[in-house]
Structure 1
Amino acid sequence: MPAVKAELRKINDSSQGGAWLFDLGCGNGSVAASITKEGWEVSGVDPSSEGISAAAKTYPDLHLKEGSAYDDLVSLYGRFPVVLSLEVVEHVYAPREYARTLFDLVEPGGTAIISTPYHGYLKNLAMAVTGKMDKHFTALWDHGHIKFWSIPTLSALLSEAGFNDIRFVRVGRVPPLAQSMIAIAQKPKP
């Protein structure tokens, strides 16, 4: 969260309007609740009815509903200057559809912030050498990760959807062995 909040502060400091944000894959609402303490107005969706139920009980003032990236979210919620989607893209079956929805939710000139576990050659080599590949890439995790992203593959997905000025921040451990990566992507102005 510190790296995500640092990016949000940069955006908020440079914005002229309100600090509105959409959380695509909001889970139990804990991230949305933390971000509202930073001055953001947050709306969001998650496909987990259990997650949304927990969010409603714990954070009743938040605007979080059941829904997914496969829904027509723009017609329901509109567009936002910032769309946040943390630790979601590795769970989607149709990443291009997810990326199209993400792009549609961001207003022109706005920003998408996406995080996912980091995968790169050195990290994968380190896992192989230490015998941790099977545990990390287990097929026995129900509803677990179904896609594994690297900086080039996530860049390609976001570029294909229409984003530009894509940059990455690696977090957790040293950069070559990072736990996660955060992509910050811009939707071009018309």
Structure 2
Amino acid sequence: METTVDSAEVAKFEAMAAEWWDPNGKFRPLHQMNPCRLDYITRQIAAEFGRDLKTDKPFAGLRILDIGCGGGLLSEPMARLGAEVVGADAAPRNIPVARIHAEQSGLTIDYRHTTAEDLAAAGERFDVVLNMEVVEHVADPLVYLTACHDLLKTGGLMLCSTLNRNAKSFAMAIVGAEWVMCWLPKGTHDWNKFITPDELYDLIRRAGLDPVDRKGMIFNPISWRWSLSDRDLSVNYVTASLRRD
């Protein structure tokens, strides 16, 4: 089975596995961004599947895949909202970390050391695929996104976030986050693998999905908070796509 896993990228995150749930550790940027990501994710899922977020367990009956789940920062909120969650990660050391934290949190989540391609080949299908901050780390984005398409049921929703490729993203995501602020270890990201919004939309369409929305995720250094933007996709951004067939 063809795989898009980049072993060097996996090794980077595996080395940081034990720190996933430390809000002041190497994954501090994700902890800071998580409320913004969850705001987008939950609203998109609720709108697409007609769910009321004010009710108890609004995602009950939905099967959600969290690709590149890491320690479970997105898988756990989805489980709390009632979804049946599968968390998949190519880095084997991430899985026991995620399993232990879910157990300590009283949550049932199916964590697996596997890839999108292997899940698709096994015939797994989901209502929602969460594909957050992964596509810039794979060896072949089109093959990877095609596997994401195959993992969705007809009418299924993929949410995909990544980093734009321009001078600003290099300054903020590489120089700022890795070199100056030391939020991430140097070399976490390869700017050459960043993807512009138009490039991502093209890849999504070629993978057989229909992109229907995109938003920027903006960090405010004054308030130290992230927010969504309809206009500014210059660094971090997130997209929503549907499988129509």
Band the TM-score falls in, shorter-chain normalisation: 0.7 to 0.9
TM-score (norm 2): 0.64
Structure 2 partner of 1:154: 200
Report the equivalent of 1:115: 161
Change (3 A) 1:134 1:76: closer
Question: How far, CA to CA, are the matches of 2:78 and 2:233 in structure 1?
Answer: 27
Q: Tell me the equivalent position of 1:44.
A: 87
For the residues of structure 2 that align with 1:177 and 1:31, how far apart are their CA atoms? Answer: 22
Provide the aligned C-alpha RMSD in A.
Answer: 2.9
Moved over 3 A (4+): 131-134, 136-143
Once the two structures are aligned, what percentage of the paired residues are identical? 23
Is the contact between residue 33 and residue 59 of structure 1 (CA under 8 Å) also seen in structure 2? yes
Aligned match of 1:166 in 212, 216, 228? 212
- Give the alignment partner of residue 64 of structure 1, picking from 111, 135, 148: 111
- Letter of the 1:171 counterpart: M
Residue pair 1:162, 1:187 contacting (<8 A) in 2 also: yes
| SS of corresponding position for 1:58 | helix
Write the letter of the residue equivalent to 2:115.
S
Q: 1:23 touches 1:43 (CA, 8 Å); kept in 2?
A: yes
Q: In the superposition, relative to structure 1, how do residues 8 and 45 fare at CA in structure 2: closer, same or farther (>3 Å)? A: same
Q: Within 2, Cα distance between the matches of 1:134 and 1:116?
A: 14
Deviations 1:22-52 (A, max 9, x none): 1111111121001111221111210111211
Q: In the comparison of the two structures, how many residue pairs are matched?
A: 181
After superposition, what is the alpha-carbon deviation per residue over 1:81-114, rounded to whole angstroms, capped at 9, x for unaligned? Answer: 1111111001111111111110100111211111
* Corresponding position: 1:141 with 2:186: yes
C-alpha spacing 1:133/1:24, structure 2 compared with 1 (3 Å): closer
Structure 1 runs not aligned, ≥5 long: none
**SS at 2:74's partner residue?**
helix
Q: Distance in 1 between matches of 2:74 and 2:173?
A: 29
Give the CA deviation at 1:137.
9.8
How much has 1:177 moved relative to structure 2? 5.8
Matched AA of 1:65: R
